[in-house]
Chain A
Amino acid sequence: MAKVKAMTQEWMDAYKAAIVADPEYKTVAKDWEGSVSLIVNPDPSKGVPETIYLFQDYWHGDVGEFVVCDKAKAESAKFVMTGDYARWKQVALKELDATKALLQGKLKMKGDLPYVVRNIKVVNKVIDILGRVDTQWPDEA
């Protein structure tokens, strides 16, 4: 299967499909409520010339809208996470734990932090699944 270009709609579709196909996700995320957006800061030297906004909707084990979006939609999510491209790539490749990235200030989050901590298993699960999406990263093109 061909690699999917990172942070494109095709990539978001593949990510969503991987989550839906995961046999454990529905159980692990049965209590999760709310959308998450990922904001990728531009880094022209890495092939990311502009800010990228990604919106993901999760609800009690189901997966809703997964789209590349504009700034306003991204900022409407219940949880908004922002970071540099290189950090997001490290997280996706599991070279950097997302919780540690957050605590070290390498990623920023707006939203209910205790809710995320309480549901840390869900967060780890979707990141784990992301690692399975065969990705073409822009700085490796």
Chain B
Amino acid sequence: MPRGYAGKFLQVHLSEGTWSDFKVDEAVLRDFLGGSSLAAKIFFDRYPLDADPLSGQNPLMIMTGPMVASGFPGTSRFSICAKAPQTGIWGESACGGTFGPELKRAGYDGIVVDGIAKSPVTLSIVEGKVELLDASSLWGKDVYETTDILRQEDSKLKVLAIGQAGENLVKIAAIGNDKGHFSGRTGLGAVMGSKRLKAIVVRGSAKLDKFDEEAYKAAFKAAIAEVKESALADGLHLMGSDANMDLGMVNGDVPIKNWTVGQDFELSSNLSGPTMREKYLTKEHACANCPVACKRVVKVDDGPFKTEEGPGPEYETCGTFGTMLMNPDLAAVIKANELCNRYGMDTISCGSAIALAMELYEKGDLTKDDLDGLDLTWGNMEAVMPLIRKIAHREGFGDILAEGSLKAARKIGKGAEDLVVHVKGLEAPMHDPRGFHGMGLAYMMSNRGACHLQHAVLATEQGMASWPELFDMKDDYQGTTSEGKAMLVFNSENYGILGNSLSICHYLVDILKPETILNAFNAITGFNLTKDELLQTGMRDWTLKRGINNLLGITKKDDALPKKLLTALEDGGAAGSVPDVELLRTEYYAIRGLDERGYPVPEKLTELGLNDLKNRLYA
């Protein structure tokens, strides 16, 4: 077993109430490293791909990476993976916080849970001791309450929990770690809820050996120096991820009014990171081992959206509950964020679904009667708060939106599907491909649906990071052009994907030099991978997940952008611009090695050592 790993994984069969340890071969670890990449390998090898996402046969996999718990900056993360309830294809969602390092110190690199418990349970892993505990009294409680109760007797426990949304099998349900960190995307909270697994608690103190302590110390020192020198790190510390609001409004990145308006500086000024800092920030907060501390702790002191001190919204949430809804009140965004956190729901999907409902209400395709009496006029946040509750509890109209935007639109009819901005059923995050065509291609090709985090395209195309030592890069890409973007996206995927397999925060991937990350990785594990081998690991990850999706029915026709993103805006930084989907896809397919159906070609699968996948795709 290479260093850096705890050395074993936990398999839990909830239907039987049993568990056991298992190991993964070193060769497999070397090829897939960890995180969502290793989860995909386990899923592909051990489980039926065609199982219903909410059945006992669909595993919930919580995976760390080899650098987690090393103390290296940004290595707090872990990935939660399963076949996704929202999309029916590969689902994954990474999360920061404290759970990942604690799980490894408790003795495990990852957990694979299948089956369905007879009654609600909490999985407890404390210093290597595994137990399934009765959680009946926690069922019905929100993420914050659940976390507090579980910590009453042991304040050092790190908690992963679902709220009411997960219990109610809401397809956009999230999983929360210690209240402020969420695996939000693709509805994995519903998988946890379907298993009646209310929470997982971990505590541990094991120290993980490194292959070369001295080399690690040198890489660590270099990383700290790079963070100190980085304007991006400085900006994230001061303004959080919402630093993007002001900048994005200038360059056409920020979606407004459900993707129909190009620019609104009054909105961005009211919703920006600097505004949050001035009006609501009580302190910055960091995930484990992070010198950046981009997380916000906020409090709204008074007014209709008063909150207790708690985790603040990310940029994405300021978009979905701010600009998307034509809401200029940051206090209302903070309140909506708190509600979504408590119920355990993805703020991107939830806000986007509500934006869809507001647009349909404006068009007259939904009425107050349809909406249980709610007045969904743009910006009416007094109506949004009860709607969030309804979605989490599947009450009234909330039951429709609880399926996610695409399925909700199909149920509503009246052409609503044309108003949904999604790829493969997952609502797009708050970065407009009309301003950045490479992001459009990244949305098209991301394996979990429209996603800004399964790659590093946001960083490279918008100029937050530049890695000329990894691949040919310009200093300054023009967002509103499609030429040359296929290669940029391909390279940015292969490198950025490592954030998920190594379980490093994407911001640190952007901030640190690749050489520093590689040196730390090799010092920890002893794998001694080269830069090219590391990039090939990214390719293998992407291709395996793509193959899984192909086996689940994904083909070229699914690699597309929705109608709205192919309709030019009249004003703003992206005015008059739409991605050239055909050019982007054609160039990308050739570079990535995909055939006319959108399947990886056999030679590519052989090159990447994915022979089992080749056999199943070409059986």
Contacts and interface: CB of A to CB of B under 8 A. Distances in A.
B274 A115 contact: yes
Given A104-B465, A114-B274, A117-B247, A96 B234 contact: no
A103 B272 contact: no
A112 to B, nearest CB: 9
A37 B451 CA distance: 40
Contacts of A109: 231
Contact of B274 (A95, A104, A108, A118): A118
Contact of A113 (B231, B475, B476): B231
A124 B251 CA distance: 11
A120 interface: yes
B246 A120 contact: yes
Contacts of A121: 250, 265
A84 to B, nearest CB: 12
Contacts, number: 65
B476 A103 contact: no
Contacts of B229: 105
Contacts of B232: 103
B238 A104 contact: no
A95 B474 CA distance: 10
Interface in A120-135: 120-121, 124
Q: State the main secondary structure of chain B at its contact with A.
A: helix
A95 B231 contact: no
Interface in B234-252: 234-235, 238-239, 243, 246-247, 250
Contact of B231 (A96, A97, A103, A114): A103
B463 A118 contact: no
Q: State the main secondary structure of chain A at its contact with B.
A: helix
A114 B243 CA distance: 8
Contacts of A105: 229-231
Given A96-B476, A100-B476, A105-B231, A117 B466 contact: no
Contacts of B238: 113-114
Interface string B268-304: 0100111101000000000000000000000000000
B462 interface: yes
Count chain B CB atoms within 10 A of each CB in A90, A106, A108 and give the residue with the most. Answer: A106
Chain B residues touching A, range: 20 to 34
B464 interface: yes
Given A99-B463, A100-B462, A104-B466, A124 B250 contact: yes
A17 interface: no
A106 B229 CA distance: 11
A102 interface: yes
Interface in B193-242: 229-232, 234-235, 238-239
Nearest to A90: B475
Contacts of A120: 246-247, 250
A109 B230 CA distance: 10
B274 A117 contact: yes
A78 to B, nearest CB: 16
A118 B274 CA distance: 7
Contacts of B234: 113
Nearest to A102: B231
Contacts of A95: 475-476
Contacts of A90: 475-476
A94 to B, nearest CB: 9
Contacts of A108: 231
24 contacts: A90-B475, A90-B476, A95-B475, A96-B475, A97-B476, A99-B247, A99-B463, A100-B462, A100-B464, A100-B475, A100-B476, A103-B231, A103-B232, A103-B464, A104-B463, A104-B466, A105-B229, A106-B475, A113-B231, A115-B274, A117-B246, A117-B273, A118-B275, A124-B250
Q: In the A-B complex, list the 5 residue pairs whose CB atoms are closest, starting with the nearest.
A: A100-B463, A114-B274, A118-B274, A96-B476, A104-B466
